[in-house]
Amino acid sequence: MTDDPQRRIEYELFLRKFVMIVPTNEVIRQVTHAMEPLDVPAGGVVFEKGEPPRSIYFIVSGEIELAGDDATFRFGRGDVIGVIDASARRTHSRTARAITNAQLLVLSFSDWLDALEDHPTFSSRLRRSVGTALHTDRLTLGPRGGFPEPPPDDGLGVLADSVLTRLLAMREVDAFSSASVQALTELADKAHTVHASPGQLVFPPGAAADKILIVLSGEVHAERRIAPVLSARFGRSQLVLEASAFGEVLGEYAISAVTDASIIVIAQTDIDDVTEDHFDLFTSFLRATTVERERLRVYVNRPPSSPLRLKPKGG
């Protein structure tokens, strides 16, 4: 924890200038208070593969290399390292070593989570921004967006709608898979289900912007008609557009039923409400989207970045 005003100002300037989603003043103050500087000489190890992740590291200057079995990536000023493994709740998958003398700011991951939990408005913005970033990645992956094929029809037909069936479907969705049942139940209770016949347009473009959709049964089709176009199908217990949907991008799509389908409709504001009392909903989202983003980045052969990808704003 630093109490040196000069250092705090420098940290604040750094965070406000570089973080893509600028936190509120309260978050910045809380975070800068908990940050510590770390000078790593060229060749020094920041963390090693296999170590449990405890902190996230903001690169203020210098270059850091992340080396694993598969590939090596380089990061520089404005980048954050360590956040992917911490968010995914796994040991470090790469060793981080300074290529040049590097100056880092270190924030313990639990402090970061505390700041997010203490400031739900910011965590809500972060969720949407991560969703948007994922969607941007998807749009570069061709007209199918890199979405998996829907699962084969299980022959169960249209499922009876109830809180329990919604809950079970939600538990199958990656973004919710590590959330508490209690949180998901509250969300399932606030959600509603719409039923559609084959070919029926369930949501025209613009209609589902602030919602996420989970297919309870049947199959649906999501189509983005503006460039770059994207068209994908989603089946039972799949989140339409996967975690990209959290980016409020569903409004860009026309959603129609391919077969008889039931679709769970969840308002983003309801997710915000439930998250206020059940922060595990957010950490579950964070975990799933981190893995998804990493997977996509590998898919398009880019260095992995983070939900907190830093880059100078305005160029």
Report if residue 192 touches another protein, rule: CB under 8 A: no
Among 61, 136, 182, 197, binds another protein (CB under 8 A): 182
Among 159, 201, 209, 291, binds another protein (CB under 8 A): 159
Q: Which lies closer to another protein via its Cβ, residue 36 or residue 65?
A: 36
Stretch that binds another protein, among 6-14, 64-72, 73-81, 135-143 (CB under 8 A): 6-14
Burial class (CB in 10 A: 0-12, 13-18, 19+), 207: middle
Among 79, 111, 242, 252, binds another protein (CB under 8 A): 111
Report if residue 108 touches another protein, rule: CB under 8 A: yes
Report if residue 125 touches another protein, rule: CB under 8 A: no
The site that binds another protein (CB under 8 A) totals a number of residues, namely: 61
Site for another protein, residues 194 to 233, rule: CB under 8 A? none
3-class secondary structure per residue, the chain: CCCCHHHHHHHHHHHHHHECCCCCHHHHHHHHHHCEEEEECCCCEEECCCCCCCEEEEEEECCEEEECCCCEEEECCCCEECHHHHHHCCCCCCEEEECCCEEEEEEEHHHHHHHHHHCHHHHHHHHHHHHHHHHHHHHCCCCCCCCCCCCCCCCCCCCCCCHHHHHHHHHHCHHHCCCCHHHHHHHHHHCEEEEECCCCEEECCCCCCCEEEEEEECCEEEEECCCCCEEEEECCCCECCHHHHHHCCHHHEEEEECCCEEEEEEEHHHHHHHHHHCCHHHHHHHHHHHHHHHHHHHHCCCCCCCCCCECCCCC
| Minimum gap (Å) between residue 9 Cβ and another protein | 4
| Minimum gap (Å) between residue 40 Cβ and another protein | 10
Report if residue 180 touches another protein, rule: CB under 8 A: yes
Among 84, 167, 243, 254, binds another protein (CB under 8 A): 167
Distance between CA atoms of 291 and 101, rounded to whole angstroms? 30
Site for another protein, residues 49 to 78, rule: CB under 8 A? 51, 54-55
Among 100, 101, 132, 185, binds another protein (CB under 8 A): 185
Report if residue 158 touches another protein, rule: CB under 8 A: yes
Report if residue 42 touches another protein, rule: CB under 8 A: no
Q: Which lies closer to another protein via its Cβ, residue 109 or residue 205?
A: 109
Do 215 and 240 form a contact (C-beta atoms < 8 A)?
A: yes
Q: Which lies closer to another protein via its Cβ, residue 136 or residue 269?
A: 269
Among 194, 273, 291, 297, binds another protein (CB under 8 A): 273
Contact residues for another protein, defined by CB under 8 A:
1, 5-6, 8-10, 12-13, 16-18, 25-26, 28-30, 33-38, 47, 51, 54-55, 106-108, 110-111, 114-115, 118, 121, 156-165, 167-168, 171, 180-182, 185-186, 269-270, 272-273, 277, 312-314
